[in-house]
Amino acid sequence: MSKRKENNKQIKGDWTASISRLFVLTKKNLLRFWKNPKALGFLIGIPIMYYLIVGLIFAGADEGLSNYNIGWVDDDSTSAVTHPQYDLDLIYEIFDDMDEIEMTKYDSKDEAIEAALNEEIDAFIYFPQGFEADLEDNSYIDIAFWNNDTSTSTKFNISSMLDNLVSQTSSFFKITNETETDLNILLNNFENSEYDGILILNNNFSKGLDNDWDVNMSYLYRTDLSYAKSGYIIGVIEGIINSYFNAPSYNSTVSIPIFYPVPGSTLPDPVEYEMFFLQSVSPTTKSIIQNLVGSVISGIINTNPLEIDISYEVKSTVGEEVNYMTYQAPGLILYGPMTILSFAVIVLTSEKKDGIYKRLSSSEVKNWELVSSSILANLMLVFMQFAIGATILFMFGWNPIIYSPLDAIIGVMIAMFLFSFFILALAFALTPIFKDPDTAGGGVWVILIPLMMMSGIFFPIEMFGESMQAVANVLPTRFAVLILQGLLLKGLPLTDPSILLNFGLLTLYSIVIFAIGIKAFNKFKR
């Protein structure tokens, strides 16, 4: 065999050996997985459970949208006489008939804020004075007419044509003859004028009519007024003028083929109303209500392409509006202690597997010392996680809404302690079930996923169906979320009855699980 061949054989040999090792390792891993029914169950079961829970949550969301409570404050004494669809009482009736929401009228903004703070409503809509009048004003397209025609017609009266146009379009256009104004001045001041467009009668228009020529006008529209809307306006005007001239002796066609946007022109301010939300309402709920209310109001008022630009301002019932991070932070803080569950169970099962407990059993160490040290060590980890997590959340804009710094600090510390204690108690209870660290690593997620996903940490439980909400409301993680939301989002004092109730429930849960956990763990440890 040549040297080259020998080398090739060597290379091939290494590769073969590597592939062989790879195969053996893969087979060994598969065998280990296959031979461990629990690992098999967890690795397949967890994804199934994940999808089931997500499915249940979001499937329930369709049913659950019926529970939004929305307040209504109408401070407007004006009325839209020519447009009945702008009547706020009528709009309220339409909302009230909707299954998705529960409407309540309030006499004043303060009354509605009070109701929101008492959590009687999720949000309220506020219509300021002059709302209907503004709608009325904004319901017209203001058009300036400017006659640039120096020719005259022997057969047609242009003035009559204009009168007819004004009369025919009076319910949606306001056409004003601005021929007396200098066109340049009119165009230069367009930005500050009330006009949405300028209709110009081009030169020789009258002459053309007399000679049966096709004639045209020009329409200059606002830059930011939509092309489609302008097209609609032109179409209406064209139709009315052609109809006016429609006679056996008339063979001309009037068209307004070219659009010119007027540079620099802007739209007038939109008609505004306000939507108020409690700070603790989730961003998702907020978004759903905004879209629902906004689209319904806009849909009722704007029934044709000449739509009124209507908008709402989102406000908070108390203080500044909360950002997403501030809303989400109380839940995110709990993520750290929850991950401790997995860590704690893996450590406990590893120590058993490695014989540490057996070795320590011949020392003077007591069971309670082992348990307490595990709890203490993990609590330290939790508080370290909390410090790091809180710092990061602050960096990302967390702005907790608190009653007082003392209430917040003490309350959060107690809540974190209780919740971590519950999680560690759960770890002791789960350790004998999982027995070995490999199984525990995946297995704890069977418990963690529902605790996380259904507690309101990631998804507001208002999105859930009623049955899932009922389950979520008895989860210990939910109590912890409510405590932290109360202290850090709603600005409640530590002594608030809702906070104390949730502290009590979480404590009760922790004690029960701890008692079960320690009994099971001590048996397992032996």
For the stretch 167-175, contacts whose Cβ atoms lie closer than 8 Å and that sit 24 or more positions apart, written own/partner, are: 168/240, 169/236, 169/237, 169/240, 171/82, 172/139, 172/140, 172/141, 172/304, 172/306, 173/140, 173/141, 173/142, 173/143, 173/233, 173/236, 174/140, 174/141, 174/142, 174/143, 175/143, 175/144, 175/145, 175/199
When the beta carbons of 319 and 355 are compared against other proteins, the nearer one is 355
Considering the complex, what minimum distance in angstroms separates the CB of residue 355 from other proteins?
4
Half-sphere exposure of 403 (CA within 13 A, CB side): 19
When the beta carbons of 118 and 363 are compared against other proteins, the nearer one is 363
| Residue 59: closest CA among 459, 474, 456, 455 | 459
Q: Which positions lie near other proteins, rule CB under 8 A?
A: 354-356, 358-365, 526
When the beta carbons of 9 and 359 are compared against other proteins, the nearer one is 359
When the beta carbons of 2 and 362 are compared against other proteins, the nearer one is 362
Considering the complex, what minimum distance in angstroms separates the CB of residue 285 from other proteins?
46
Considering the complex, what minimum distance in angstroms separates the CB of residue 525 from other proteins?
11
When the beta carbons of 199 and 370 are compared against other proteins, the nearer one is 370
Maximum distance among all alpha carbons in the chain? 123
In DSSP notation, 55-80 reads HHHHHHHHHHGGGEEEEEEE------
| Residue 296: closest CA among 312, 315, 280, 314 | 312
When the beta carbons of 133 and 356 are compared against other proteins, the nearer one is 356
For the stretch 458-461, contacts whose Cβ atoms lie closer than 8 Å and that sit 24 or more positions apart, written own/partner, are: 458/331, 459/57, 459/284, 460/282, 460/284, 460/285
Considering the complex, what minimum distance in angstroms separates the CB of residue 526 from other proteins?
8
Considering the complex, what minimum distance in angstroms separates the CB of residue 347 from other proteins?
11
When the beta carbons of 238 and 351 are compared against other proteins, the nearer one is 351
Question: In the numeric block, which tokens belong to residue 431?
Answer: 């350790």
Considering the complex, what minimum distance in angstroms separates the CB of residue 425 from other proteins?
24
Considering the complex, what minimum distance in angstroms separates the CB of residue 448 from other proteins?
25
